[in-house]
Structure 1
Amino acid sequence: MVVRTIMKRAINKWVISIFAITMLLMIGIEGKAYMDNDKKKYDAQQMSEIVEMEKIAAKQIKNTFLEIEEIKFLNNYSENKITGFTIVDVQVTTIYGKKSNFDISMSLNNNTNDKYSGSGENPKLQEGRTEGRVKIFYSNGNQEES
């Protein structure tokens, strides 16, 4: 009888231990899934903000240079946390097939009304305003004509 009582206690300890480990694993898996989902939402929101800034920059490029046929935002981003600006590489193609690459700085800070500011090598494009439609390729893979 003493042996049965000891065996029951040992079995109960194993059952409780296995149950506790299973519960901890389930909580860990659910927590990881929640954090991954939260990160996806944050990344989607960040990309949406970047595309909005790219639209503004595309309009400004179109209004600054003549005879632009295509504006392509490349996926080369770098962020300066001190100034709050994100720098992106842009490739501009004219109607003559001439391509120019340069960097632009965009502010993702919603509290400022900062405009497009170019940096890096000065593009060798004619100043003026492009009146026709321009193909724009955004960094998220979408494209449109504006």
Structure 2
Amino acid sequence: MERHPNPDMDEYAGVLDRRLEALFLDGIFVGLAVLGLGYLAGMLFADSGIGGMFLAMSFGAPVALLGYQVGMEGYYGQTLGKHLRGIVVVSRDGSDLTWGKAVVRNLLRIVDALPAFYVVGVAAAYVTDDHQRIGDLAGQTVVVHTTD
């Protein structure tokens, strides 16, 4: 995965196709990692791999997903899910995503996810010309296709 792939600023990513698919893929990747680590921690420290797994999913998964998204987008401009779906996050002017913008757009996923299933984020993306959710508007970012 190359660092900051070339954005196609003429083609914004769709709301319920590539972006949702990328989020779903990222959830699977992070969920599997958290389950595995929770199971190992449960076996090592509590002699109950299943209990550690449930504890990790309840408390660790949301934090791990946020950290994963900020880290991957801050460094690469895309997560593994976005890479697989051919989309990248860039600054509004088309320049590479900064760490600060990656933090802002991802912290506001909490608002975008309200009241459930990203209703606020999807609604915002549908009413904005560039398909920006609340986190994108606050971070001054857009999600576009890659030229590769």
Structure of greater Rg: 1
TM over 0.5: no
Class of the TM-score when normalised by the shorter of the 2 chains: under 0.3
Higher fraction of helix: 2
Q: Scaled by the length of structure 2, what TM-score is found?
A: 0.27
**TM-score, structure 1 as length reference:** 0.28
